[in-house]
Amino acid sequence: MSRMLSIEPLTKEAFAPFGSVIETDRASMRLINGGNTERFHALARVDVVGAGAIINIFRGQPRAFPYALAMMERHPLGSQSFSPVDDRPWLVVVAADEGGRPGRPRVFLASGRQGVNYGRNVWHHPLMALGAASDFIVVDREAPGDNLEEFFYDEAFVIPDPL
């Protein structure tokens, strides 16, 4: 099987097995604050076990392509969300679990207005910013140190330049 990965557009439906897409979809909208504000409600749920949740900012340096993807990680004790604040596209890389290790990665191209919430224990690649250093609002579990599992593939996959 080819080690070259293809890139899919990020949609709620395609991403559903891995978590939630955080974007302004009409179905979730309710007017609040006397009509001043549209609330896109409950786009994702924070799912943390045995500790509280925190809000962080991650600043990711842009990745170079073609990218050799050699590892994946997951957080057994908590979901982790990424919401871009620089309106710049980025890559979301996830994999189904196959007996305790990640299967073939799937690569989604997110717009600069799309965030995701990785479900608890879902394999994913660390942050992949594109083009320039980019900031993300991140909601995850306190004490990330005891909540990390990494896996290294025998042979790297390759992500082509998405832009």
Interface residue list for its own copies (CB under 8 A) = 22-24, 32-34, 36-47, 52-61, 63, 81, 83-87, 113, 115, 117, 126-127, 135, 137-139, 142
Nearer to its own copies, 98 or 149 (CB): 149
DSSP string, 51-112: S-EEEEEEEEPBPPSSEEEEEEEE-TTB-EEEEESS---EEEEEE-EETTEE-S-EEEEE-T
Shortest Å, Cβ 142 to its own copies: 7
Nearer to its own copies, 7 or 54 (CB): 54
Which one-letter amino acid corresponds to residue 9? P
Nearer to its own copies, 95 or 127 (CB): 127
User: What residues have CB less than 8 Å from 19, skipping those under 6 apart?
Assistant: 44, 79, 94, 116, 117, 118, 119, 122
Shortest Å, Cβ 9 to its own copies: 19
Shortest Å, Cβ 42 to its own copies: 4
